[in-house]
Amino acid sequence: MAVLTEPKRAGEFLASEASGNRSREGVVVLDGAVLQAGQLFSLDVNEKAIAYVDGATVAGVALDNVSPSGADGKVAAIVRDAEVIEGELVVFDAATPANIATAVTGLKALGIIAR
C-alpha cells in the first residue's frame, strides 16, 4: 500500500493571533521563491519575501504554501503579535538547535512567541 504524505495546511502552525487582522499582512514573494505554510521568511533588498536562511533577519511566517513562477506572488503572513507552535515551523534544511533558537529569538522580536 502506498504511503501518502499530507502537505502542511494553511495556518496549521498557528496557536493564536491578535483579533481582527492585526497579526497578518499580505507579503510579496519573490518570483521563484518557494514558501511552505509555517515557513519563516526574510525580506530581500526589494522588500520581497524569500526563504529564511541562517544569519538573515526573520520577517515573519508564511500562512500558506506559495511558489510563484514567472512573476512575483503574494501570500498572507503572520508578522506580529501571535503565538505559534514551534514544532510546526519550517526553518531551513539541516537547521541545528542553535539555528532554530536564533530564528525563534527573531520571531520574539516581532512579537511572535513560539510555544
Whichever domain contains 61, its CATH number is: 2.40.300.10
Domain presence at residue 6: no
**For the chain, how far is it from start to end, CA to CA, in angstroms?**
36
Residue 7 has pLDDT above 80, yes or no: no
Q: What angle do CA 22, 25, 28 make, to 5 degrees?
A: 170
Q: For 28-63, what is each residue's pLDDT tens digit?
A: 999 999 999 999 999 999 999 999 999 999 999 999
Are 51 and 39 in contact by the 8 Å Cβ rule? The answer is yes
- Of 103, 74, 108, 81, nearest to 90 (Cα)? 103
Q: How many domains does the chain have?
A: 1
Q: How far is CA 13 from the centre of its chain?
A: 9
3-state secondary structure 22-58: CCEEEEEECCCCCECCCEEEEECCCCCEEECCCCCCC
β-strand partners of 60: 41
**In angstroms, rounded to a whole number, what is the distance separating the alpha carbons of residues 63 and 8?**
10
In a domain, 4, yes or no: no
Tell me which residue of 75, 81, 77 sits closest to 108, measured CA to CA.
81
Q: Which domain holds residue 20?
A: 14-114
Q: Give per-residue pLDDT as tens, 52-93.
A: 999 999 999 999 999 999 999 999 999 999 999 999 999 998
Q: What is the pTM of this model?
A: 0.91
Tell whether 3 is covered by a domain.
no
Q: In the predicted model, is pLDDT for residue 8 greater than 90? A: no
Question: Is residue 9 in a domain?
Answer: no
Q: Is residue 71 part of a domain?
A: yes
Tell me, what's the pLDDT at 58? 97
